[in-house]
Amino acid sequence: MNILSVVVPSFNTEQYLSNCITTLLDSGDGIEILIVNDGSSDGTGAIADRFAEKYPEKVKAIHQINKGHGGAVNTGIANASGKYIKVVDSDDWVNPEALKSVVSKLRDFTEMGKEIDMFLCDFVYDKLGETKKKIMHYRGIVPENKIVSWNELGRFRAGKYILMHSVIYRRDVLITCGLKLPEHTFYVDNIFVYMPLPYVETIYYMSICVYHYFIGRDEQSVNEKNMIRRIDQQLRVNELMLYHTDLKNIKGRKRQRYMLHYLTIITTVSSVLLLKIGTKEAIGKKKMLWRSIRKYNLWINFRMRLSLVGSVINLPGITGRKISLLVYKKAQQKVGFN
């Protein structure tokens, strides 16, 4: 039985796909690789077929009309047979030796009859043109090498949160929570991580760099210029996260605190992008976003505004906006994201 199903959503990434799949193949046994060719118009589909033909016991090539990143992930999950699921974007890659260690640990848990709802690892911001790579880890927040509950987690600091690149979910958790990502929408990786959280009871963290997140390219969806151009899709994801769960009634104080933290970060990103656009319409959308939060839930609004990032992003007036953008720029430089 495959322990881990790796979903590889792929759209017009013929330049990168072979490297991604090769690193997964080098990661040993127990891994099922599902390449979802999401209506590509280049050679992506042919590359997927070649891998599936050469490694039929490990690789599946699935072809579909274009449904966007979320639609490709949905298809991958629906066709997965592994007990655990990880998403690896086709222009990124993994460290094979690190992933071998993860699969070995997941196999151990299965043999012992223990189920881990969420398995966390470190990842690398592999930024184009930079020799010094930023490693994102959870040391000091999540206890290492032991099965823990939310109650045993520390506080996630501003700018630190769980991303798709660091998470592996037990497949049954994704099914139980009814996860279905919106199609033809960017930035749904945040929904992928966020929506299953109320169903996560057991967490395991191995401080090992598995995922290489390749950033810094002009064509990337997370490139700031592209995020500004697609601001309405960012706002849609933000709203879906807001309305998905009544955080006030989430079970467990630390789980509730983390989910509020995550929602605050995504709302801050939306707000900063709108401030960067700077038009009257954009500033109006920012006000509308925070107004909708207040209208939806006064408790969430109060807690978000009381947080460090929430208070900085809502400084009043032109001077306040300049300060907000300056703080964001410093955070960019420190963390290393686009």
- Span 327-334, average pLDDT: 68
The pLDDT tens digits for 145-168 are 999 999 999 999 877 899 999 999
Look at residue 70 and tell me whether its pLDDT is greater than 60. yes
Look at residue 336 and tell me whether its pLDDT is greater than 70. no
Q: What is the pTM of this model?
A: 0.93
333 band by pLDDT with thresholds 50, 70 and 90:
low
- Specify the pLDDT at position 160: 87
Q: Which amino acid is at 74?
A: N
DSSP notation for 193-259: HHTTGGG---EEEEEEEEEEEEE--TT-TTSHHHHHHTHHHHHHHHHHHHHH--GGG-SSHHHHHHH
141 band by pLDDT with thresholds 50, 70 and 90:
very high
Q: 3-class DSSP state for residue 101?
A: helix
- Specify the pLDDT at position 245: 87
Which of 31-35, 65-69, 331-335 is least confident?
331-335
**C-alpha gyration radius of the chain:** 20
Q: Which amino acid is at 153?
A: L
Q: 3-class DSSP state for residue 8?
A: strand
User: Among positive and negative, which fits the CA dihedral 93, 98, 103, 106?
Assistant: negative
261 band by pLDDT with thresholds 50, 70 and 90:
very high
Give 113's DSSP letter. Answer: T
- Specify the pLDDT at position 337: 54
Closest by CA position to 9, among listed 33, 30, 25: 33
* Straight-line distance from the first to the last Cα atom of the chain, in angstroms, rounded to the nearest whole number: 39
- Specify the pLDDT at position 316: 77
- Specify the pLDDT at position 334: 61
Q: Which amino acid is at 222?
A: V
- Specify the pLDDT at position 243: 93
Look at residue 95 and tell me whether its pLDDT is greater than 80. yes
DSSP notation for 213-232: EEE--TT-TTSHHHHHHTHH
